[in-house]
Amino acid sequence: MSAESLPTMDRSTLRERVLQALRTAITSGAYRPGDHLGEVELAGRLGVSRGTVREALRHLQQEGLVQAGMRGMLRVNSLSQEEIHGLFRVRAALEGLAVTEIIGGPRRKKAVTALRKAVDELAGADDFATRVEADLGFHLKLCELSGNAMLVESWRHLEGRIRITIMNRGPEGAPTMMTPARHAPIIDAIDNGDLDKALEVVQEHMTAAADHFTGTAG
């Protein structure tokens, strides 16, 4: 297990803090897909009871970040090829809805400006962790600019599994999907008010990403 020592928790909002600490350790790649998550070890690292850790792990199971293996042992989830393709199909639907609402709304030009700024941040990312955050930041911004709070909530619900998928590929392979050139066509289509093109580009983007992260790209 590759995680560094986790911070000791104080008693304020203990349950939420433990949950957040474990979620961050998983989605940052400190714990890798397949790593065992032992209640005793985690409780010792965090300075909390096993019951508190157990409750947090149960919540992470519901989020899809943790799965039960043999004899009920909990491990960081590792998505199958089928699950990854399904994940990116849902992302295509959500982000397709986002571009639909942006293009049909009154603030399209402001959205384009915000998205170009997000791409500039991606261009300036000089390490893997920063690039991951900039890439996910772009897609989250796209959803937020739709003005649809339920859409954003749905995307956020997938975020942990998106991060696991990226971290499983690692810094050697993932960054090829996280370049400004792969995101600029989405912005250009929105800027031009071309909904058909925007939907096509989003679909192609997500299909290529799914193929890349499953190792099935041609």
pLDDT score for 15: 86
Report how far residue 215's alpha carbon sits from residue 16's, in angstroms, rounded to the nearest whole number.
36
Task: Give the C-alpha separation, 16 to 1, whole Å.
Answer: 23
Give the Cα separation of 98 and 157 in Å (integer). 16
Q: Please list the rounded mean pLDDT of every run of 10 residues in the chain (218 residues).
A: 57 80 86 90 92 92 84 86 96 98 97 97 88 94 98 94 84 78 96 98 96 81
Residues in contact with 88: Cβ distance below 8 Å, sequence separation at least 6, in sequence order: 206, 207, 209, 210, 213
pLDDT at 204: 96
Taking Cα atoms as reference points, which of 98, 93, 107, 94 lies closest to residue 191? Answer: 107
Which residue(s) pair with 76 in the sheet?
A: 66
pLDDT digits (tens, 9 = 90+) for 140-151: 999 999 999 999
pLDDT value at residue 65: 87
d(CA 214, CA 118): 26
The two three-digit tokens of residue 41, written as one number: 């070890």
- pLDDT the model gives residue 6: 66
Per-residue tokens: 91:
């992302």
Q: Output the pLDDT for position 173.
A: 67
| Secondary structure, 3-state, the chain | CCCCCCCCCCCCCHHHHHHHHHHHHHHCCCCCCCCECCHHHHHHHHCCCHHHHHHHHHHHHHHCCEEECHHHCEEECCCCHHHHHHHHHHHHHHHHHHHHHHHHCCCHHHHHHHHHHHHHHHHCCCCHHHHHHHHHHHHHHHHHCCCCHHHHHHHHHHHHHHHHHHHHHHHHHHHHHCCHHHHHHHHHHHHCCCHHHHHHHHHHHHHHHHHHHHCCCC
Q: CB-side exposure of 91: number of CA atoms within 13 Å?
A: 26
CB 98 within 8 A of CB 150: no
| pTM for this prediction | 0.81
Q: According to the model, what pLDDT value does residue 167 have? A: 81
Tokens 């399904």 belong to: 86
Q: Each residue of 40-67: pLDDT tens digit?
A: 999 999 999 999 999 999 989 888 889 8
Q: For residue 113, what pLDDT is reported?
A: 98
- Phi/psi at 86 (nearest 5 deg)? -65, -40
Spatial CB neighbours of 109, under 8 Å, sequence gap ≥ 6: 191
